[in-house]
A and B are shown apart, each in its own frame.
Chain A
Amino acid sequence: GAGVSQSPRYKVAKRGQDVALRCDPISGHVSLFWYQQALGQGPEFLTYFQNEAQLDKSGLPSDRFFAERPEGSVSTLKIQRTQQEDSAVYLCASSLGTGAGYSNQPQHFGDGTRLSIL
């Protein structure tokens, strides 16, 4: 597709269940970002990949959160033993690259996965 695709769009899970959120970035985009967004707030950085390498995971709130991008394209964000405070919209973004040569490249966002933990 032409844009960033995320699935599912909506996910409802019971507290304690594991969930997996998928992101399909724009073809050829080296950088991939995951964000958590509360209602009416700006995105909060979770983690960042450059190709298959996870270069920054400083924003992951706990060790229950895990992200991977094994082949440098599709990425999965997994949340284990979900808790109610995990309820949020999870946004994925991709860009051509990061670093000095790509400093003004925009991030292209998917429409997010709205996760509700009951």
Chain B
Amino acid sequence: TQLLEQSPQFLSIQEGENLTVYCNSSSVFSSLQWYRQEPGEGPVLLVTVVTGGEVKKLKRLTFQFGDARKDSSLHITAAQPGDTGLYLCAGLDSNYQLIWGAGTKLIIKP
């Protein structure tokens, strides 16, 4: 059973547009990680957020951890075709195990 809900499941937009991906749960996590996975490869860590309300930026990507540490968002500004991939969030539970979301498949059309 997935305890982390990601939305949308699928998003296809034009190059240059902005988008936001959400990761929600009823559970509190001590930290939350965002990964990106490209076809035929394993997921690669983008960022870890730890503190409630924390915001981290990675070039055009902005990650935010909710104040209650139950949810997170990923905002991409001026999306580029190279941003295409499967975006996964994973929360660290009280047993120090990662709980994975089902992912958001993002396609950026040139």
- Seen from chain A, the residues whose Cβ lies within 8 Å of a Cβ on chain B are 4, 35, 40-45, 48, 56, 91, 93, 98-100, 102-104, 106-112
Contacts and interface: CB of A to CB of B under 8 A. Distances in A.
Interface in B28-58: 30-31, 33, 40-45, 48, 50
Interface residues of B, number: 24
Interface of B: 2, 6, 30-31, 33, 40-45, 48, 50, 86, 88, 92, 96-98, 100-103, 105
Chain A interface SS verdict (over half): loop
Nearest to B49: A104
Given A93-B42, A106-B48, A99 B100 contact: no
Contacts of A93: 42
Given A41-B103, A104-B31, A111 B96 contact: no
Nearest to B43: A109
Nearest to A38: B102
Contact of A109 (B6, B31, B44, B102): B44
Contact of B96 (A35, A43, A100, A110): A100
A111 B42 contact: yes
Nearest to A112: B42
Contacts of A48: 97
Nearest to A40: B105
Contacts of B50: 104
Contact of B100 (A40, A43, A100, A111): A43
Of A43, A45, A102, chain B has the most CB atoms within 10 Å of the CB of A43
A22 B46 CA distance: 26
28 contacts: A4-B42, A40-B86, A40-B103, A40-B105, A41-B102, A41-B103, A42-B2, A42-B88, A44-B100, A45-B97, A45-B98, A48-B97, A91-B42, A93-B42, A98-B96, A99-B96, A103-B96, A104-B31, A104-B48, A104-B50, A106-B48, A107-B43, A107-B98, A108-B45, A109-B42, A109-B43, A109-B44, A111-B41
